[in-house]
Structures are given as structure tokens and as C-alpha cells.
Amino acid sequence: MPELPDVEGFARVLHSHVVGQRIEAIRVLDPGVIRGRSSSDFVDRLCGRVFREPARTGKWLVSPTDGPTLLLHFGMTGSLVWETSHDQDDRFARVIFETGQGMLVYQDMRKLRGLWLAESDDEITRVIDPQGPDALGLTGTELRDRLAGRRAGLKGLLMDQTVVAGLGNMLSDEVLWRARIHPARRYDSLDTAECRHLDRSLQQVLRTSVTQGSIPRTRSWLSSQRGAEAPRCPRGHGALRTSRFGGRTAYWCPVCQPSTM
């Protein structure tokens, strides 16, 4: 599932391959991913425009042009790839932007989100909001301001884009495991040291993942155990537990992350 680091990776695809390039043609292979307008209107407004430097906010990729701004959301299964020749068998390719140099392909299997166009900053805000502050670079004080006083458990809060933007299921599990905090605990139950661990773990996990452009699956990361037949704590504590929080499956360690402290 694309989370903040993956979207940073997609921003790099744009930066490396299409910034400064003119969109010569747009092939909409599946109009179902074009949101808020018809696919012909989408093509008319964007074709001939030049890509400018992109920005990421939360899980959104904001890609301005010398005309409207393209807004991309990757839902659960989306991605953005650069190809110099298009693979005709790519059945999840939904929209292809052709420049003179190659093709930018928006792929998505499940099509939960898609592509929007915005003509102004107000319209960008209307599409993206309500969204909390971006998780990357959030200070400990800002994090506390977002989480304190809320009744929901931390796992659900960290995944709630209106609270902090950019984290999904995998990152929130990773952060809580690193901070040794049970996913169902409330922020107000944490002591000062735990609050600091949460803040540090969040920024460390984000920085490392953003550098890589995806969440590492190396053995020292909890994410390496997701989907494993017998998931085990990378700290050597034995079997991990799984629980449902907000419709998503959390992985956690009963030794590292006791439910009460």
C-alpha cells in the first residue's frame, strides 16, 4: 500500500523524468480513475502542458503544470512508473502521459482513488482536505498537539489522515513497534519517555523510508514480517500477534508492546 515514502518515490519519478517536459498525448485506458470531470475534459485541459516541479503532501502527489495542477492519489495499490516503451500486457496501466522522451504510466489495480485536476490553490485544497499536517518533520510538540486528548487508540490515530497525513498500515505498525507501544493505547496514557520514543521512532522510520523511496523490508524491520507464514518479532521475542484496528490488520509484539504499562 503506498504510504508517504512511496509517494516520495513517485515524486522522484516525476522529478527525474518529466519536469520540463511537454505532455504530447494522454491515453486514458480506464476513465474510472479520472475524478471530478470527464476523461475528454481531463485530456483537453492537460494535453500540451509542461510538467513543473512536484510536491508531496501526506499521501497526495501534487504535480503542477503551466496550466492546471494534476493531483494523484494511489489508494491501496497505485503506482507511477516511467517507461520508454509501453508494455501492452500491463493490465493495470490506467492513464499514460506521453512526452517526447517516454511515458509516465499511472497504474492501479483496485482503483480506489485516482487523478484529479485543479485550476487554483483553493481547488487543490478542496480536493485534498480535510488533511492533518504532513507526518514528515513533525516536531514532538506538534505530534502531541495532534494526538493528546483523543480517545481512539494510537494505531487508528496514526492512520487517520485528518490527524497526521502520510502514514498507513505498515508505517504505523513499524513506528509503534519501534517505540514499544501497544497499538490500542491512548496517547494520554503514555509517560514522557514513551511520548519521546513515539516521536523519535516516527521521524526515524520516515527518514529512512523516504531515503529509500519505500518502506524497507529488511530483517530488522517489522515490515519484513508482514505477510510471512509465521511472523516473528525482529528483536527475537517469538511470534507476533495480529489484531484488527479500524478495519486494518496490525502486527505487534506482545513482549515489546505490552497492552498495559
CB nearer to Zn ion: pick between 117 and 256: 256
Instruction: Say if CB 155 and CB 184 are below 8 A apart.
Output: yes
Report 205-244 residues binding Zn ion (CB under 5 A): 233, 235, 237
- Cβ 180 to Zn ion shortest distance, Å: 8
Q: Quick one: the chain helix, strand, coil %, rounded to 5?
A: 35, 20, 45
Q: How far is the CB of 25 from Zn ion (least distance, A)?
A: 52
**By CB under 5 A, which span of 11-19, 109-117, 148-156, 253-261 interacts with Zn ion?**
253-261
Q: How far is the CB of 234 from Zn ion (least distance, A)?
A: 8
Distance separating alpha carbons of residues 233 and 54, to the nearest angstrom: 38
38, burial (CB in 10 Å: exposed 0-12, middle 13-18, buried 19+): exposed
CB nearer Zn ion, residue 207 or residue 237: 237
Judged by CB under 5 A, how many residues of this single chain contact Zn ion?
Answer: 6
Return the C-alpha torsion angle 182, 212, 61, 39, nearest 10.
-110
Which residue lies nearer to Zn ion by CB, 137 or 238?
Answer: 238
Reference 212, options 204, 260, 25; nearest CA is 204
Using CB under 5 A as the binding rule, whether residue 256 contacts Zn ion is answered as: yes
**Whole-number minimum distance, CB 243 to Zn ion, in Å?**
15
CA distance linking residue 82 with residue 103, whole number of Å? 6
Nearer to Zn ion, 62 or 253 (CB): 253
- Residues in contact with Zn ion by CB under 5 A are 233, 235, 237, 253, 255-256
